């Protein structure tokens, strides 16, 4: 898919993103769609979305420390908070000179979308929440994060891929689409243990976004996978109840990584939503 890598340096730190190659579109005026990736993948997971929406320029930042299989080496992330990661996204928007965009993310990308909304609600022309939840980590989830951190220290990204793949992909994908499992594994293994540990810390200390759901007044699309074993559809229903006039789309035969498992259905739902925002 036609895309290019772009970057800015802020305070000595480089922030990279993938974006639609402008030569691949015939539209003369483009609206901006920002897509934030899941844990522990990278912006490369949005390849099938990069030129799927005529008239839209798609920007997909690599969250601090993460990189795609074809990306250059990256600085290690340290221990950022979710709000600091949101500031990275703001730097990208500032560098593009774009005051407003449709902004969304999948799973961890959704947590980051909420963090960005918390600090910069005026940036949002529209909001997309895929396979994510508004609530913060429960004590049980935090315990799971500590185990994941120990696993990545012991076994590196490959051990994380072994552990997570059966949960990331729905039963249908695991049975019928082995190429998707291979692709997701390659995305996970392109990352460093430090990037994965940095994101674990940011996720387990993130703030509960349920109290801000009622403040979201921009058009909002919520997508959920019927076979999502990591974030149940009840989490999508909770966001749908809390966000005024939001649209909820349930994707059948789809697990946690909706855009990779059912790209046609995902793009059709997102495309319909974007046509009303352009």
108 belongs to the binding site for ligand MLT (CB under 6 A): yes
**CA angle, corner 53, sides to 83 and 82, nearest 5?**
10
Of the residues 45, 134, 195, 230, which one makes contact with ligand MLT according to CB under 6 A: 230
Phi, psi dihedrals of residue 224, rounded to the nearest 5°: -140, 150
Contact assessment for residue 271 and residue 167, using Cβ atoms and an 8 Å cutoff = no
> Closer to ligand MLT at the Cβ: 57 or 195?
195
CA dist 269 → 52, 175, 264, 266 (Å) = 12, 24, 9, 5
Tokens 């996978």 belong to: 225
| Cβ 224 to ligand MLT shortest distance, Å | 13
Contact assessment for residue 132 and residue 106, using Cβ atoms and an 8 Å cutoff = yes
| Cβ 107 to ligand MLT shortest distance, Å | 3
173 belongs to the binding site for ligand MLT (CB under 6 A): no
Of the residues 38, 44, 127, 196, which one makes contact with ligand MLT according to CB under 6 A: 38
Q: How many residues bind ligand MLT (CB under 6 A)?
A: 7
Q: How many CB atoms lie within 10 A of CB 242?
A: 17
> Closer to ligand MLT at the Cβ: 74 or 108?
108
> Closer to ligand MLT at the Cβ: 219 or 255?
255
3-state secondary structure of 21: coil
Phi-psi region of 254 (alpha: psi -120 to 50; beta: other; left: phi over 0): beta
Contact assessment for residue 224 and residue 236, using Cβ atoms and an 8 Å cutoff = yes
| Cβ 63 to ligand MLT shortest distance, Å | 10
223 belongs to the binding site for ligand MLT (CB under 6 A): no
CA dist 44 → 35, 158, 265 (Å) = 11, 18, 19
> Closer to ligand MLT at the Cβ: 93 or 160?
160
124 belongs to the binding site for ligand MLT (CB under 6 A): no
107 belongs to the binding site for ligand MLT (CB under 6 A): yes
Of the residues 102, 203, 216, 224, which one makes contact with ligand MLT according to CB under 6 A: 203
Contact assessment for residue 53 and residue 73, using Cβ atoms and an 8 Å cutoff = no
| Cβ 239 to ligand MLT shortest distance, Å | 14
Of the residues 39, 53, 66, 273, which one makes contact with ligand MLT according to CB under 6 A: 39
Applying CB under 6 A, the residues found at the interface with ligand MLT are: 38-39, 107-108, 203, 230, 256
């Amino acid at each position: 898919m036609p895309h290019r890598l772009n970057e800015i340096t802020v305070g000595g730190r480089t922030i990279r993103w993938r974006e639609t190659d402008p030569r691949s579109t015939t539209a003369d005026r483009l609206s901006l769609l920002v897509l934030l990736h899941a844990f522990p993948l990278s912006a490369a997971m949005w390849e099938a979305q990069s030129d799927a929406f005529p008239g839209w320029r798609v920007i997909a930042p690599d969250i601090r420390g993460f990189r795609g299989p074809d990306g250059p080496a990256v600085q290690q992330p340290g221990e950022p908070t979710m709000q600091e990661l949101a500031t990275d996204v703001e730097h990208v928007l500032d560098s593009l000179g774009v005051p407003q965009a449709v902004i969304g993310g999948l799973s961890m990308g959704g947590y980051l979308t909420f963090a960005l909304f918390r600090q910069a609600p005026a940036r949002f022309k529209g909001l997309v929440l895929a396979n994510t939840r508004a609530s913060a980590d429960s004590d049980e989830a935090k315990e799971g994060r500590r185990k994941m951190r120990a696993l990545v220290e012991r076994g590196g990204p490959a051990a994380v891929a072994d552990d997570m793949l059966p949960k990331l992909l729905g039963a249908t994908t695991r049975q019928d689409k082995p190429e998707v499992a291979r692709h997701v594994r390659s995305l996970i293994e392109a990352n460093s243990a430090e990037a994965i540990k940095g994101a674990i810390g940011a996720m387990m200390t993130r703030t509960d976004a349920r109290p801000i759901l009622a403040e979201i007044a921009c058009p909002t699309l919520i997508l959920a996978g019927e076979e999502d074993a990591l974030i149940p559809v009840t989490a999508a229903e909770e966001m749908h109840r809390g966000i005024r006039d939001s649209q909820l789309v349930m994707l059948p035969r789809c697990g946690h990584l909706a855009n990779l498992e059912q790209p046609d259905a995902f793009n059709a739902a997102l495309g319909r939503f974007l046509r009303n925002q352009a």
